[in-house]
Amino acid sequence: MSKINIPRWNHKFMSLIENVKIIGIRNSIYLSYSSIIILVLIFGYFVSYFEYLPFDPEDLDLDYILSPPLTDGHILGTDYLGRDTFSRLILGIEAYLVPSIVAVIIAIFWGIITAVASIFTHKRVTRTLSMINDSILAMPKLVLLFLVIAIFDPNIFYIMIVIGISNIPSVAQLLTAKIDLLKERSFIDSAIASGISYHSIILKHILWSNCRVILFSQSAFIMGEAILMEASLSYLGFGVQEPTPSWGNMVQSGSNYLLQGDLWSSTIPALAIMLVLSAFYLLSYTVSRVLERRH
């Protein structure tokens, strides 16, 4: 058997093949898959932003209802009204990409504040914060979203704010657990004692060097979850309304026809959701595995 000489991570720039050897084949495949899909997603977002689509997504073409892919220039087929699936798919990216990023930012930001506040303040504050966290965790996300939709508008930004808020407790709990471990190593106390400013301790020593793995992987995870929530809501009819396309919307409109045998109209957006979701989840999983091993 040949000896595999695995290089160590040093701080210089390493070639791709050396990186692959360190991370391992399986993780590299996951990471490349995730990055390709995310890049395609971002590219598609810009394409839809500039409306550079092959077909007008609202163009009804009643000669070609529910056609499978590759008929007459429709790369992915058409839906029950004859609209081109591919263009609607690209346009549907707009419905969730930016709002999901908003949700992630809210969750991470407030999660950090909650975790850090519960470490550095009085015990009563910690208990109150953990009580609030527990109460958010006791509510299913979709149920909370229904409440907000019924009382307020079904506006996508409200929805994403609620998704962000409902993910704060999980981020906060992970961060608190990690910071508690650090606390046990008297790391924080010695840093305070040697006069480093609180600002610098929190940002540099705790968050960036120790918690960044959690933050990265959690952002990817929450992004995936936000996309799934938006798709589910559109499927149930509460998110983006017709005729604006959203991937959940498209699955719903094709679902009745699925039971009759015309499966392309519903399957293609579902597969798209699956690819994007799996990309984010794999990214979160692989990042946490690869970067944790480094220590």
Partner 1 sequence: MINIAVLKPIASAISRELFHSITLLLLLSFFVFFLLYNAPGDEVFQRYLESHSELNSYDSHNLFYIYFIWLSACVTGNFGTSMVNGLPVLGQIIENLGNSILLIFHALLISVPFVIINIAMGFKNNFKLISTTVSVILSILAVVPIFWLSYVAIYITSTRFDYLPVGISPESLSYLEMLLPVALLSIGSGVLIHITQHTKSELFRVLKEDYVLYARAKGAKVYKHVLKEGIIFPMLHLMSHQVAYLFSTCIIIEQIFNWPGIGRLLWQATQDRDIPLLLGAVLATAFTIRLTQFLSKLTYIILNPRASHE
Partner 2 sequence: MNEVPLLKVSNLSVNFYNSENIDVVSALSDISFSLAQKQCLGIIGESGSGKSVTLLSLLGLMNTAPGITSGTIEFSRDDTTINLLENLDNYPLHDIGSISSIVQRQFNRRKEQLNKNFQAIRGKQISIIFQNPKLAFNPYYSIGHQICEMIQLHTDINSEEKVKAKALSWLERVGMDDPEARFYNNPYGLSGGLCQRAMIAMALASEPSLLIADEPTTGLDTILQRNILNLLHDLQQELSLSMIIVSHDLKVIQTLCKDVLVYHSGMIIEKGTTKQVLASSENKHPYTRQLIQCELNSVCLAGDILIQNVDNGGCPYYYSCDEITSRISKTCAQSNPSLHNIDDDHAIRCWKYHDI
Binding site for partner 2 (CB under 8 A): 1-6
CB of 16 to partner 2, least distance (A): 20
The partner in contact with residue 5, picked from partner 1, partner 2, none with C-beta cut-offs of 5 to 8 angstroms by kind, is: partner 2
Q: Whole-angstrom Cα distance, residue 215 to residue 212?
A: 5
Enter the tokens of residue 74: 């429709």
Distance in Å, CB of 295 to partner 2, minimum: 13
Q: Among partner 1, partner 2, none, what does residue 258 contact (CB within 5–8 Å per kind)?
A: partner 1
289 touches 27 (CB < 8 A): yes
Partner in contact with 274, chosen from partner 1, partner 2, none, beta carbon below 5 to 8 Å by kind:
partner 1
Give φ, ψ of 294 to 5 degrees.
Answer: -70, -25
The residues that touch partner 1, with contacts defined as CB under 8 A, are 131-132, 134-135, 137-144, 146-153, 228, 231-232, 235-238, 248, 251-252, 255, 258-259, 261, 263, 266-267, 270, 273-274, 277-278, 281
Q: For residues 5 and 209, which CB has a smaller minimum distance to partner 2 in the complex?
A: 5
The residue among 164 and 248 lying less far from partner 1, judged by its C-beta, is 248
Tokens of 184: 């046990």
CB-wise, 26 or 212, nearer to partner 2? 26
Partner interacting with residue 2 (select from partner 2, partner 1, none; CB below 5-8 Å by kind) = partner 2
Which residue do the tokens 């709002």 mark? 99
Half-sphere exposure of 144 (CA within 13 A, CB side): 18
> Does a cis peptide bond (omega within 30 degrees of 0) precede residue 243?
yes
Q: Which does 186 bind (CB under 5 to 8 A by kind): partner 2, partner 1, none?
A: none
6 or 62: whose CB is closer to partner 2?
6
> How many other C-beta atoms are found inside a 10 Å radius of the C-beta of residue 295?
6
End-to-end CA distance of the chain: 29
Which entry of partner 2, partner 1, none binds 152, CB below 5 to 8 A by partner kind? partner 1
CB of 118 to partner 1, least distance (A): 16
Q: How far is the CB of 65 from partner 1 (least distance, A)?
A: 19
Considering the complex, state which of residue 67 and residue 166 has its C-beta at the smaller distance from partner 1. Answer: 166
* 5/194 with CB nearer partner 2: 5
Q: What is the DSSP string of 156-196?
A: HHHHHHHHHHHHHHHHHHHHHHHHHHHHHTTHHHHHHHTT-
> Smaller CB distance to partner 2: residue 4 or 151?
4
Is 19 in contact with 9 (CB distance < 8 Å)? no
The answer for residues whose C-beta is within 8 angstroms of residue 142's C-beta and 6 or more apart is 229, 232, 233
C-alpha span between 245 and 72 (Å, rounded):
22
Tokens 């690819």 belong to: 275
210 binds, among partner 1, partner 2, none (CB under 5 to 8 A by kind): none
| CA distance readout (Å), 49 to 64, 104, 147, 248 | 27, 21, 31, 20
Closest CB 2 distance from partner 2, rounded Å: 7
Q: How far is the CB of 36 from partner 1 (least distance, A)?
A: 16
Contact 176, 111 (CB under 8 A): no
